[in-house]
Amino acid sequence: MIERRRTRPVSVGGGATPDKNCVQIGGDAPVSIQSMTKTHTEDIEDTSAQIKELEEMGCEIIRVAVPTPKAARCLGEIKRRTRIPVVADIHFSPQLALEAIAQGVDKIRINPGNMKDKAKVEEVVRAAKNKGIPIRIGVNSGSVKSPGQEEEPLAKLMVETILRYCEHFESLGFRDIVLSLKASDVPTTMAAYREVARQCDYPLHLGVTAAGPASSSIIKSAIGIGGLLSEGIGDTLRVSITGRPHEEIKAGLDILQALGLREHEGWELISCPTCGRCEIDLVKIVEEVKAKLPPEKKALQIAIMGCAVNGPGEAQECDIGIAGGHGFGLLFKKGERVKKIPESEMVSQLLHEIESMS
């Protein structure tokens, strides 16, 4: 059981009067999953459609890029078409942040360091305060990095920088703050989050930035985000992947489920890697079962194991499982051995049993 760091709760959605779709970040709220649209925000149809797809997959907070005044003006309509909280991602221009707030977004993400006009930054903070919406202060390693900077000082510099911004916001009476300190390498990311968690109680948005395509991002994120979560650090997350945003949701959910921070909602397939002891075509069986599994109705753990070494143990611990033998498999249900099945019937019989249990 992971003991989570207690943070200040921040409400995202509904402004000063949180609505039913509001998502709390921090406090005792579960770790929420975020993603970012990859459409042009100026295209309201495309953006709203992508948000809907992501929401159906389990996205709980969605961020959209706001690079132009037109994109900012589209936010009101995107917000009206969207159930989950919408976050405006703003760089460089306080004016875009002010327009996004006026359009009714639920949160903004800024890096005060890339907005030159400090008086305007203060105007943004006051506007967010008036509307009762939080601000994520996002500092990425690239924005504080000097040439030749070493790993540890860079994380330290990120923390010093972000805490300076926090102090500035606090001096304006604003504390609805979420922090992120992302780097593209895992050790720097982890060091920065650990240090900021030690120094303040603001909720943390976890991520490894520019983590690459799914193959590398999922590994970096599982280590970086998952490692921090396992230490109790982190209140919301985004897995950033060069690819479809849908993969980000799946990866985020997988990380939370692997750590026991989120219940498995559907089936969970447990299968061994196979080795020289395996005497059934386990890879083919797993692929076939996975492809033919019925739509998820209730949480079910399914084990498909290659041999008698670990097979019966795993199969017995799951709701249903098969432990392979020499051309056959032993079927277990709810810890009891039920019958012996020839390899040729393993897929069909297992699917039949799963269907009856769903």
For residue 349, the minimal CB distance to ligand SF4 (Å) is 20
Q: How far is the CB of 280 from ligand SF4 (least distance, A)?
A: 9
Among the candidate windows 11-19, 215-223, 274-282, 348-356, which touches ligand SF4 by CB under 6 A? 274-282
Minimum distance from residue 357 beta carbon to ligand SF4 (Å): 23
Least distance in angstroms from the C-beta of 255 to ligand SF4 = 24
Q: Given candidates 95, 149, 230, 274, which one binds ligand SF4 under the rule CB under 6 A?
A: 274
* Least distance CB 271 / ligand SF4 (angstroms): 8
* Contact between 283 and ligand SF4 per CB under 6 A: no
Q: Counting contacts by CB under 6 A, is residue 316 touching ligand SF4?
A: no
Q: Which is nearer to ligand SF4, 293 or 315 (CB)?
A: 315
Stretch near ligand SF4 under the rule CB under 6 A, chosen from 43-51, 256-264, 288-296, 309-317? 309-317
In the complex, the smallest distance separating the C-beta of residue 354 from ligand SF4, rounded to whole angstroms, is: 20
3-state helix/strand/coil string of the chain: CCCCCCCCCEEECCCCCCCCCCEEECCCCCCEEEEECCCCCCCHHHHHHHHHHHHHHCCCEEEEECCCHHHHHHHHHHHHCCCCCEEEECCCCHHHHHHHHHCCCCEEEECHHHCCCHHHHHHHHHHHHHHCCCEEEEEEHHHHCCCCCCHHHHHHHHHHHHHHHHHHHHHCCCCCEEEEEECCCHHHHHHHHHHHHHHCCCCEEECCCCCCCHHHHHHHHHHHHHHHHHCCCCCEECCCCCCCHHHHHHHHHHHHHHCCCCCCCCEEEEECCCCCCCCCCHHHHHHHHHHHCCCCCCCEEEEEECCCCCHHHHHHHCCEEEEECCCEEEEEECCEEEEEEEHHHHHHHHHHHHHHHC
Residue 239 is encoded by which pair of tokens?
Answer: 């897995």
Q: Does 306 engage in binding with ligand SF4 (CB under 6 A)?
A: yes
Partnered with residue 179 across adjacent β-strands are: 137, 204
Q: Which of 259, 309, 351, 357 binds ligand SF4 (CB under 6 A)?
A: 309
Residue of the chain from 166, 272, 302, 320 that contacts ligand SF4 (CB under 6 A)? 272
Of the ranges 12-20, 94-102, 210-218, 299-307, which one interacts with ligand SF4 (CB under 6 A)? Answer: 299-307
- Of 63-71, 168-176, 178-186, 270-278: span binding ligand SF4 (CB under 6 A): 270-278
Compute CA distances 188 → 148, 184, 194, whole Å.
Answer: 14, 8, 10
Least Å distance between CB 167 and ligand SF4?
54
Distance between CA atoms of residues 129 and 45, nearest Å: 30
Q: Residue 231 or residue 288: which is nearer to ligand SF4 going by CB?
A: 288
Distance separating alpha carbons of residues 136 and 176, to the nearest angstrom: 9
322 binds ligand SF4 (CB under 6 A): no
Among 172, 275, 299, 338, binds ligand SF4 (CB under 6 A): 275
311 touching ligand SF4, by CB under 6 A: yes
Binding residue (CB under 6 A) for ligand SF4 from 162, 177, 305, 330: 305
Q: Is 284 in the site for ligand SF4 (CB under 6 A)?
A: no
In the complex, what is the shortest distance from the CB of residue 223 to ligand SF4, in angstroms, rounded to a whole number? Answer: 24
Cα(120)–Cα(103) distance, integer angstroms: 18
Closer to ligand SF4 by CB, 178 or 305: give it: 305
> Quick one: which of 147, 148, 173, 273 contacts ligand SF4 (CB under 6 A)?
273
Between β-strands 236-237 and 205-206, what pairing exists: parallel, antiparallel or unpaired?
parallel
Q: Which residues bind ligand SF4 (CB under 6 A)?
A: 272-275, 277-278, 305-307, 309-311
